[in-house]
Each structure stands twice: as structure tokens, then as C-alpha cells.
Structure 1
């Protein structure tokens, strides 16, 4: 009698619950491109100075109104693996250069739209990838040539020092205008003033004459939002500002030494419990006398060392506060370790993990500690008044509504992060903005494609055509007729041999043909940031093209808990 093994109905390559999407007749690449188109439509209408805002309700039920692509992609829970490739590309761009995240998403999505036409014609993905890589290398070389032409066309009118506020404003003004058009002058003034405060003193002549990398930390610039007033009431403080008062009786001081404690300002307690037997009233009165004398001695040592300001990152007991007030010390309690770290940078102090007399190296110095009224709010200002640099600056942001303040804060963060590209080696090289560089690339890459033999010229030409999406979206969001503006823009670039590269989209609609010379407006983009964006966008698009199968494992755990506001209950508060 033979033995038969029972058949397993779930026998297969993967465990039960796996999903496999292969490159069948309808094509996995086509389905990935269709999924990316949805996210592309979301970001493309938010590009440019007149980009549309989106209302996003995230998984926590918080409502966010913004047109910043990095914020939108961060708050959205993207599931599709192919779309996640583009999201990671935008995050890399935002982390490295601080801006152009929307540019990466729009350009990569348009690359894939053009790829769909090539796939329909019968080209293999490998041929498209090869043509795109050739076109990318040519485009990066042409961007260097365009930047050189811009410098020669402007002559000595360009300010090339990274320490000059005019150069910083020139770089960040287009970044801020794409988020808050109409307020770019005020915002760029705030950012440039804050950046100049924290840059190292250019005592070395090489820093002024040579284009070398300058140390710059984005976290050194802090933004404090205070309700009330308008955006034009905002200001920059060379130091730090806290929306609270000191807990001591003394509220202000000048030319004061500062000590920072990272531990509780109190008598240390034992780890074990004990029982104390008291025999009479005198022993009960003297029970805590030793602790009081010890705390009094500690505070006296701190005051005798010349310290006038005590910053505490933990709790301050009532008894310790009594003795600190007795010796006329300012006591400021800072709950955030990040704020405490920034305050140590401003004062030059070392945070201490023990309570006692600080050494001379551990003590910091602040020129002014004062109370100030901003609107109806009382704030404490730690400010360095001298002309020397400080390691932290604060932008005090004013506004009428919370959503508007949050949006302006995101805009300023993009502008501050955009300075990272300027401070890199070769960061002072710039390109014309307003879509002029992209139109110039369309013409030059198309000519390069016509000289390339074989089927590769089809993918190179489609690569060039994808750059047309930038000026087209700038014109559409500004309410212009693309069918009229784009031919005028091509004509302006071809007919003006000397200044042709400077012609871009007139988003204000002042010119009849929708085209203007942006040299006078000062709309320029950083060469390093745009080259990095083109590189990242091309790599993301070719990565999606190279995938022919998606295998997804079964999710771990039980069913997902519903997130966000319930259906029919959209009017509840955050």
C-alpha cells in the first residue's frame, strides 16, 4: 500500500499573504507610472510663486495648509513602493540642499510621463535608461556653461562673497518667493540678517576671495512665533528669546556671567529610605538645618564667583530659589534640552551636571538680559550687543493666525536651509530663474539628441521635453496662456544671442507677451542645488523604470486602527 502526501493548497514560493505584481501584459511599469501621476498632479499645481495651497489632514487629525512639497509628502502616508522612491528622492534633496524638493518631484514625474510614450512606441526600459543617463551628463555640463555665461553677462555687478548680505538675499529671495510671493523682500531681509550674525568672522582673506566651503549650521537660527501684529513687525534678535519670565525676583542684568546647570537645583536625595527618630522639639527644628546650610553655602559660592545669571534645565526647589533671590541672582528655567544647548552657544557656557561653584572655563557671558513686551506677550531676551558674531540668532515672527504663522515658519526654514547650498564649495555660482534655464536646456539637449545616432535620440529628446514642464506650470499658475507664452519664450531665447539666456516667465503679467528679462529682477537659482536636483530626479525616474516586479509581504499584526477624524465629523478642533 503506497503512502500519499496530502496536497498543500497554499504551497508556493512565498508565505500566505504575499502579493506579487509582475511585468505582465498590462505592464508593472505602466501601473507604477499611473500611481506616480497622482502624486505628480498634487505637487505640480503647488509649484511657483502662485502655486496653489493644499489642505492636508494628517494621521493625527491636524490640519495643515501649505504649498511646500516637502511638508505635504512628509504628512501624507504614501504606501505604493514606486511612489516611495520619488518621495525618498525629494527627502534627499531637502536634506542635502534645503530646497528644490518640489522641483525634483515635478521633474521626475514628467520624466516618467515622457517614458510612457517611449514604452508605447516599443522602446525597452534599458534603452530609455541609457538615453536618460547620457542626456543627464550632457545637461549637467550645459548648466555649468550657462552659469559661466551668466557671470560674464553680468560683469562685476555680481557680489561673490558668501559673507555679504546682498549675496545671501540674492540666493534666498527666489526660494522665499515661491512660498510667500509678495513678502520675499521682508523675509529675505530677516534671513540674511540672521545668517550674517552666525557666520564666522571673515578674518582670513581666503574666505573673502576664494570660493571655499564655510561652516554653517541650520539649527543655529531659531524661529519664535508670537501671535499679533503683521509680518512686517517681525525682527531678528542676536541671541535668544524666550516667551516667559525669569522665576526669580531680579529680571534683568547687563554684562553678566552665566552658569548653566543640567541637573536639579536642590539638595541631593538618597536612593534608599530611612527612618529618623526625634526625641524633642529642638531636634525637630534642627532636622533640616544642615541641608539648608549646605544649600546656602552652594549658592553663596556661585554668587562669589561673579555669576549673575543661573540657567537651569531641570527643577528648582523653593528653598533653592529663596537663597538665589537672597544673593540677587537671575534664575531662568529652560525645559527643552535643545533650547538649553542653543543658549549655551549664545553665552559660551558649559552645561554642568553637578551643583556647585563653576570654574572659569565653565562660565559663560551675556551682554544683556532683559524683559521686553511684544504685543501683549512678555518675553525674556538674551542678547549679545557687540559687533562680534554669535553662535545663535532668533527670528521673532509675528502674524495674525496660527496657520499663517506655521506656513511662514516653513517658508523661512526653506530659506535658511537654502543657504546650505551657498556655503558649499562653488556655491556662489548661479543660474537664471523663472524657467529660463529650463527652456535653454530644452533647446540644447534637443540639438544634442539630433546628433546622437540610433534609437537613443528618442529618449534624449523626451528627456529634453520634460524640462518644459517648469515654465509651463509657472505660466499656468500665474493665469497666463501657455500656448502663447511658451512660443514667445522660445523666440526670445533664439533671437537674443547675448541676453537670450536671461528671458523667463513674467508671472506678474506686466509684459504683453508674458516674457521678461529677469536680470533686472534678480531672479536667480543656485547652480549646485539645481544640478543636484536634476541628478536626483533622473536617478529616481530611471530606478522606477528598472523595476519589472513588485513583491509585497503581508503586513504584521492585526487590522490597522482607523486614523484621523471620523466620517461626518470634519468640524472638530485639532
Structure 2
């Protein structure tokens, strides 16, 4: 967690290696069996799908809540009392969070403001490269930012990884980039009509096999003439319709390629069906499931389709020149190893997702653990005024929030206890203003800094939902008193043997 969070090396069930500190990825690749742990994993995945950031906050905070609850249970409180207190604390925390906002982003097409919102999300994953990555994400986002910001679609920012060179060679390309070159000899087209197919461009094989007797050389020559004529007819129709670029999600046969080259059409193969759909959206085409000339409204249009070299790799770029037309933009990441580029991609994903969250709610909170400390202080005050046993649970909820600044300190190799006491002192000093003092992981002064001056902000909505999901999953776990597994009785199953091995 945090900018100095260490990486984990995960080898998943397919022996694939991941090196990352992105909680969502780590959890997705783990095979969690314990049902209570699964609840937390599900909460974290929900956070990932909904807002794409603050996934490890969910896990860390839920863990801290359960740890504090254990202490209360030892003291002899009943789980239902703890649950009640936690629920009260959660609802109060939600209300307090909204009061803690320190800044607001109102103009999402302004690069400066966007940068402010996403910088900390990216630097938490990739400290040292955050400015470079911020620039890439902001440029990509402003390229596709619609007039009405709430229509911003995360899917419109693509990431393509090209091995080689260094991260500093990464760039943003308007339009879509595919990491392969065109199939035929035609390598580019401008102001082109595009036909998109999901079927193979090839002669379809018949269902049944047939035997043909050929008597002389003439018959041999005529044998495949008709077939060629059929294929030629299809591509002739395409060429007559004005198609210059043919995209397919399946294979391209040799004969088809020959005619494509002959009619000066560019052929591009896109193996992923998701990318095919996205491309359809970019060029405004309909993917056809059968060969044949598309109707006018099924054809797409693209200003420039070209094969360019990035490093030593040749890639195909679909680019719309007019600014308002380009519905997607691609960030091309360069890097030395696949693992490193994967991690950069995750950081970029987080940045893009935070922009999406900002389109819903542009409020910013102070980062660096300042919000958590302030919440802690306010909730302690609430606990002091609460009669009955609930106050213990509210107090522990407040203390659990301490886990964030503490983790930041520990990961940065600082003395956590000393730094936390300084933070407490700073937050309890002035009561009227919203305190924005957080942990200084760069250790410039006594380990604390003013987060707003240092430009460390957290978006409100991811934080809000993360708090809610973490508290909910902790409460759900507390509500359980027994785990009953329905598993078949008896020992392990006998090994299955090959062949017709009969039970007896």
C-alpha cells in the first residue's frame, strides 16, 4: 500500500509470473478458499469493477476492523454489539467524509486539474514515473473527453505494450493501435471505407467429403476455376463498393489474400473479438458474420489506416484526423520487460479509472493518510458522546483507520509510532480547520507534511465506496458464527483410470 508499497511476486495456477503491488491483480490471481476471506476478496473486486482504485484500502481496512473486533470480543462484548457500533461508525464516517473535501475539480477538460486528481493514484503504483504517466493519461483523456463529461468511457483509452526501448519513449496515439502489421502488400490507406468481418476470409469447406475423378490435364486445370471465380466475385463486389480496408477476426486464406492485393485493399487481422468490437465503434462499422459486400450503413470510415514502425515492431494504426470524431485513443507503452510494462499498464488503468470517478464526483480529499487521521479524530469525538456499549466499537472503528498512515510509515521504513504520535498531535492541535497533515514518505522533515501543499489528493468517491465496502464486509464476517461446509462425506475419491475402468 502506498508509494513505497513492496511488490509481490505471484505465480498463478497457470505458472504465469506477475510482479506487482496492485491489490486487485494480486487477489484476482490468488486462489482463495476460505469463505470469510472470500468475502473480503469479493468486496475488493467490487471496488475494482466499480471504481478501479483503492482496492488494497478495502482489504487492509477490513482486516484492521476485524482485528480490532477480536480485541473487543476478548473483552467480552457480544458480536451484535460490535456490529451495531460499526454500523453507526460507518454511517457517521460517510457523512464526515463529505465535509472533509479540500478541493473540487469542475472542469475535466483542463489538463492541470485532471493531473491534480490522478497524480497520487498513479504515484502509489509507480513512484518516480508518476509525472510521465500522468502526462500520458491526461493527454489520452483530453483526446476523448466528450462534451458531457459523465459520458466518459474508460474503454476508449486503450493500452498497447511494445517491447524494447525505455518508458520515456511511450506516447499517445489518436485512434486504435494493433500490435501486428497488415497481412497483404498494401500497408496503408487514407480516407478509407472499412469493412469488418467476423468470419474467415476463405473458401468455406463443405460438410461432406467428396471424391473427384479427373481424366485429363484440362479437367485438372478447370477443377478449381469456379472456386476462384467465386472468391474473385466476392472481392470484386467489395472493391466496387469502395472498400479500401478489410478487417477480419479470423483467418485470411491465400486465395483471398491474392485478390485483396490485386484489388489494392488492405487486409488487417484482429484476433481478439473485444478489440474487433472496439474497432467497429471507432470506425462506425457493423461486424458482418458472412462474406459479401456490406451495405452503406454497415461500412465504417477511417481517415488514416497505416502501418508504422514503433521500435522494431510494426503496428497498424487506425486514426481519425478530425478531433471530434476520434472516439478512442491509445497509449503505447515501451519497456524492457513484459512484467514491467504490465505494471505500468495497471498504473495507467488506475489513473483512467480515477478520471471516471471524478466525472461522477469531482471532490478531492487530502491524501497521504491525512483524511484517515482526521476521520479517526472526529469518530473518537463521536464515540465519546455515545452512551452504552456502542462507544467501544465506534472507538475501535476510529482506531482501525490508523492502519493507513501506519502502513504508509512502515512501508517507507519510518518509525511508525513516532510519526503517528506527531500526526495525532498535529490533528488535535487546531479544532476549527480541517487538518490536512499526512505522512511524508520522502522523509524531508519530521515525517509529516501538509498533503494539499504537497499536491497529494485522493478522489472522494473511491475513498467513500472503499470505506463502505470494507466496513460492510467486516460486518458481514462478524455476523457469522459458524462456517458449515457442505462437502461429500468419505475419504478422497479413487484415482480415475484410463479406458473403460469399471467401478467394481
TM-score with structure 2 length normalisation?
A: 0.93
Instruction: Note if 1:463 corresponds to 2:417.
Output: no
Equivalent-residue separation in structure 1 for 2:286 and 2:376 (angstroms)? 55
Secondary structure of the corresponding residue to residue 316 of structure 2: strand
Of the three residues 63, 78, 96, the one matched with 1:142 is 96
Instruction: Note if 1:185 corresponds to 2:131.
Output: yes
Equivalent-residue separation in structure 1 for 2:327 and 2:418 (angstroms)? 51
Deviation at 1:496, TM superposition (A): 4.4
Deviation at 1:498, TM superposition (A): 6.6
* Matched residue, 2:84: 130
Of the three residues 334, 338, 348, the one matched with 2:284 is 348
* Matched residue, 1:385: 321
> After superposition, where does 1:388-399 map in structure 2 within 5 Å?
388-399=324-335
Give RMSD over aligned pairs.
2.1
Equivalent-residue separation in structure 2 for 1:267 and 1:75 (angstroms)? 41
Secondary structure of the corresponding residue to residue 378 of structure 1: strand
CA contact (8 A) 2:23 2:56 kept: yes
The unaligned stretches of length 5 or more in structure 2 are 496-504
TM-score with structure 1 length normalisation?
A: 0.82
CA contact (8 A) 2:105 2:363 kept: no
Equivalent-residue separation in structure 2 for 1:199 and 1:412 (angstroms)? 16
Deviation at 1:133, TM superposition (A): 0.6
Of the three residues 175, 179, 194, the one matched with 1:258 is 194
Alpha carbons of structure 1 residues 175 and 221: separation in structure 2 relative to 1, 3 Å: same
Of the three residues 267, 274, 280, the one matched with 1:331 is 267
* Matched residue, 1:232: 168
The unaligned stretches of length 5 or more in structure 1 are 1-46, 152-157, 209-213, 562-574
CA contact (8 A) 2:27 2:41 kept: yes
Deviation at 1:241, TM superposition (A): 1.6
Equivalent-residue separation in structure 2 for 1:102 and 1:516 (angstroms)? 23
Greater alpha carbon shift after TM alignment, 382-391 vs 521-530: 382-391
* Matched residue, 1:551: 484
* Matched residue, 1:435: 369
Secondary structure of the corresponding residue to residue 259 of structure 1: strand
Deviation at 1:129, TM superposition (A): 0.5
The CA deviation string for residues 301-325 of structure 1, in whole angstroms up to 9 with x for no partner, is: 2112221111122222222211111
Of the three residues 31, 55, 73, the one matched with 1:119 is 73
CA contact (8 A) 1:263 1:353 kept: yes
Equivalent-residue separation in structure 1 for 2:469 and 2:105 (angstroms)? 29
When the two structures are aligned, how many residues end up with a matched partner? 494
Greater alpha carbon shift after TM alignment, 67-76 vs 158-167: 158-167
Deviation at 1:175, TM superposition (A): 1.2
Equivalent-residue separation in structure 2 for 1:537 and 1:141 (angstroms)? 16
Of the three residues 106, 109, 112, the one matched with 2:63 is 109
The CA deviation string for residues 381-405 of structure 1, in whole angstroms up to 9 with x for no partner, is: 2212221242322211111122211
Of the three residues 74, 91, 95, the one matched with 2:28 is 74
Greater alpha carbon shift after TM alignment, 94-103 vs 380-389: 380-389
